[in-house]
Amino acid sequence: MTTQHDSTEEQQTAESIYSRDTIDAVPHDQRDFNFWALLFIFMGMQVPVSYFITGGSVTAGLTLGQAFLTTVVAAVIGFLIMALVGLIGWKTGASTMVCTRPAFGIIGSVLPALIAFIELTGWDSVHVQLAGQLMGTIGGPWGLGYTNLYSIIVGLAIVSLVIWGHKLLTWMERFLVPIVIVLVLMALYAVLRGQDLTALWSQSGEGPLTLVLAFDAMFIAVLTWVPMVSDYTRYGKTRSGAFNAAMFGSLPVALFMLFVGQSAAVGLGNPNALEEMVKLGSGFGVMAFFVAMFATIATAALIMYSASMSLLNVVPQIPLRLINLITGTIVIVASITIDLLGNVIGWLTFQGVLLIPLFAVILVDYFVVRRRDYDIHSLYEHGGIYWGYRGFNLIGYAAWIIGAVTYIFVHNVFTSLGGGALSFVVAALLYWLLATFGLRRAEMRHVADENDGTRKGTV
């Protein structure tokens, strides 16, 4: 029977996610996040106002109905991949980048970690820059259009909360995120009021996108979150709680945010629904201002923590607090000096090239080749079964590189096909074929050598 004291103690323990500063595996008896605690974390990931821009981008050439239904299919597949990667973190208790070690080698996992750090830090900068621009636009009529200043303030707030404000951030995830969703509903009302919904559903934006390209863009956008997932599911108490929170905390909220941007793009010619919200009056303008700020903080704090956890896989000797400070400095400087919003498509392409085949290899390695059986101790052991050739799993790298080349080739030569889904399939099949015949034999030889050395030592 759970007592009041036990319940309170569990809640207090589960509040301190941002203070957890190790890549060591978390034993199952030390996991303290139930389904609801994880659910609010994954909901918090999915409320960035950048989703308005991302969602609206796929209406260029498609009707609203086509864009949204394509988004649903891509999001279901993408978040399923994310939740499956989250199961690896739950099973091992290891962070996402530590979970890449069997597929790419102990030293080989450094490159995926660096790429994840760049990708997550870049998106954090995008969110902070967009928040500054939105807040500046909303505050402009009152003489408060200080775009860069708002980006700096939001960035500093995120860094401060991640390093020192753990309890406040937890409160924001559990209580403020639902409030943000309600406020975004008001933005959707502002977009849809006066519209003929049947006509809007069949209306299309101008542009060159096909259904395949729209799927590709949404698939890549959803995979943005995959490098983060195990950083949180490794604290989950149960397997089903970790999987369901990642899948069903993310999917409906993301679809809602993307649909708001798509409706605004088709109905108003501008995916930024918050700008339309401002037109309803000063009260709505104030709410839009705080949506831009608080939604960004809720999401960007989680991204910053995972970016720092990725870098911790590269330099585990540096305290996480210092890494957070470095990450935050990069985010703030980039948000006020680089036109990140003008290069969102290029950023998505960068992700498509590197992340899609990367996680194809990881999933096949865990679920197919090693049959959901990772030796947790060996994840941290130099010279162990996951060491590979001089610290690298060359088979994993070969499949990853060929998958990336496939994406680049299809994206540039067969421009109407995108390349995301094909690069995933190519990397997955190639790794399965190579690993089935090569990796197992190499690991069996390693174990045999170890056993032989043990027997000789006992003679």
Residue type (1 letter), 174: R
C-alpha distances in Å from residue 155, one per residue of 51, 159, 295, 315: 19, 6, 13, 24
DSSP 3-state assignment of 243? helix
DSSP 3-state assignment of 248? helix
Find out whether 400 and 427 touch, Cβ atoms under 8 Å: yes
Locate 128 and state its tokens: 């902070």
Distance separating alpha carbons of residues 91 and 374, to the nearest angstrom: 8
**What DSSP letter does each residue of 188-225 carry, written as one string?**
HHHHHTT--HHHHHH-BBSS---HHHHHHHHHHHHHTT
**What DSSP letter does each residue of 408-436 carry, written as one string?**
HHHHHHSTTT-SHHHHHHHHHHHHHHHII
Distance separating alpha carbons of residues 205 and 266, to the nearest angstrom: 5
List, in order, residues 6 or more apart from 280 with CB less than 8 Å away: 190
Distance separating alpha carbons of residues 418 and 415, to the nearest angstrom: 6
Distance separating alpha carbons of residues 49 and 299, to the nearest angstrom: 10
**Residue 62 has what DSSP assignment?**
S
Locate 406 and state its tokens: 């496939």
Locate 346 and state its tokens: 């290029």
Give the predicted TM-score (pTM) of the model.
0.90
pLDDT tens, residue order, the chain (459 aa): 433 334 333 443 444 567 777 899 999 999 989 999 899 999 999 999 889 989 998 998 899 999 999 999 999 999 999 999 999 999 999 999 999 999 999 999 999 999 999 999 999 999 999 999 989 988 888 888 999 999 999 999 999 989 887 777 777 777 778 888 988 998 999 899 889 999 999 998 778 888 998 999 999 999 999 999 999 999 999 999 999 999 999 999 999 999 999 999 999 999 988 888 888 777 888 888 888 888 898 899 999 999 999 999 999 999 999 999 999 999 999 999 998 777 777 777 888 889 999 999 999 999 999 999 999 999 999 989 999 889 999 999 999 999 999 999 998 888 778 888 899 999 999 999 999 877 655 555 554 455 554 433 333
Domains and CATH numbers, the chain: 41-458 (1.10.4160.10)
Find out whether 403 and 361 touch, Cβ atoms under 8 Å: yes
